[in-house]
Amino acid sequence: MSGICTGRIAIVTGAGRGLGRAHALELARQGARVVVNDLGAELDGGGRSAGPAQEVVEEIRALGGEAVANGEDVADFDGARRLVRQAIDTFGGLDVLVANAGFLRDRMLVNTSEEEWDAVVRVHLKGHFATLRHAAEYWRAESKAGRARSARVIATTSGAGLQGSVGQAAYSAAKAGIAALTLVAAEELGRYGVTVNALAPSARTRMTETAFAEKMAASDTGFDAMTPENVSPVVAWLATEESADVTGRVIEVEGGRICLEDGWRHGPAAALDRRWDAAGVGAALRGLIDGSPAPEPVYGAK
């Protein structure tokens, strides 16, 4: 198979279903060799099955592509190392890491248990860190050995992490952390030829089809905006060598719409040449707020 990713070696986590599956298939169609990682877990993270990852591998092979399955837990530090090692040992290297794995334990903040919080932050935020950490170690070693790879990381954040989402405190916090991790990793890894960007996708998956049922419903207009396959072309382009000048970006993708997120920026300021008096802070801060745009509403806010 040939395309814009011909010769590239990619890992896609959480690739057994939904967005990850669509990404793995598109990368393969574009010529990449793919390690399809998935635990085969249920929506809440429980259970395991090798079936989903292997099914995607078979789909890729039926298309004429090359792929292998991987069942490691991406948030297990040693498991993430073994995942990266499998790509290197099987295909001879690693060029692309698409970090996508995750699940939901939605609760209002006052009802969220410690276990639910820890589980969600672990799979999303630690899962991104662990896989990125081991991939980065490999890319740094290759660079120091004079074999620098034009490597790419595509992380997965969310509108919940950028604007917030009612009933998703743990998920929103983890996804916000991923956006910040993207900025730091892009700066740190650029010297090794690695770019790091994040997508905030909106698509119909197990995680969204119930929580946002009305928005995720299939369209009868001929263009199904919410199908996961709409997001994957952006992943494929970011995985190419052509995208070498794009890094540290957060990109929202929904249907045929691509939006570059602006993120936190320094806004209006008030400064004194002395310590603020507590009683005077209110008037100064209100003046800054009054002259600034209101924050975008949190998803689900009334």
Of 138, 171, 232, 299, the catalytic one is 171
pLDDT in tens, 159-186: 999 999 999 999 999 999 999 999 999 9
The yes-or-no answer on residue 299 being catalytic is no
Lowest mean pLDDT, pick from 3-7, 43-47, 84-88: 43-47
Q: What is the mean pLDDT of the chain?
A: 92
Under DSSP, is residue 255 helix (H, G, I), strand (E, B) or coil? Answer: coil
The yes-or-no answer on residue 113 being catalytic is no
Would you state the structure tokens that stand for residue 107, as one six-digit string?
């609760």
Amino acid at 179: A
Q: How far is residue 122 from each of residues 3, 39, 56, 169, 197, measured CA to CA in Å?
A: 35, 14, 25, 14, 20
Distance CA 266, CA 49 (A): 46
Nearest partner of 32 among 236, 238, 245, 234, judged by Cα:
236
pLDDT in tens, 130-141: 999 999 999 999
Would you state the structure tokens that stand for residue 40, as one six-digit string?
């085969």
Quote the Cα angle for 194-245-260, to 5°.
Answer: 105
pLDDT band per the 50, 70, 90 thresholds, residue 122: very high
In the chain, where does DSSP find H-type helix?
Answer: 18-29, 51-62, 77-91, 114-121, 127-144, 159-163, 169-189, 213-216, 232-238, 278-290
pLDDT in tens, 48-96: 667 899 999 999 999 999 999 999 999 999 999 999 999 999 999 999 9
pLDDT of residue 40: 79
pLDDT of residue 220: 62
Of 126, 158, 165, 243, the catalytic one is 158
Residue 265 has pLDDT above 60, yes or no: yes
Under DSSP, is residue 267 helix (H, G, I), strand (E, B) or coil? Answer: coil
- % of the chain at pLDDT higher than 70: 91
**Neighbour tally for 117: CB within 10 Å:** 18
Determine whether 273 is exposed, middle or buried from the number of CB atoms within 10 Å of its CB (0-12, 13-18, 19+): exposed
User: Which is more confident, 225 or 281?
Assistant: 281
- % of the chain at pLDDT higher than 90: 81
pLDDT in tens, 254-264: 988 999 999 88
The yes-or-no answer on residue 202 being catalytic is no
pLDDT of residue 212: 47
Domains in the chain with CATH codes: 9-260 (3.40.50.720)
DSSP state of 107: B
Distance CA 281, CA 67 (A): 59
pLDDT in tens, 219-257: 566 778 889 999 999 999 999 999 999 999 999 999 889
Nearest partner of 27 among 194, 233, 202, judged by Cα:
233
User: Which is more confident, 264 or 119?
Assistant: 119
pLDDT of residue 46: 65
pLDDT band per the 50, 70, 90 thresholds, residue 208: low
Of 175, 202, 232, 299, the catalytic one is 175
Terminal alpha carbon distance of the chain: 49
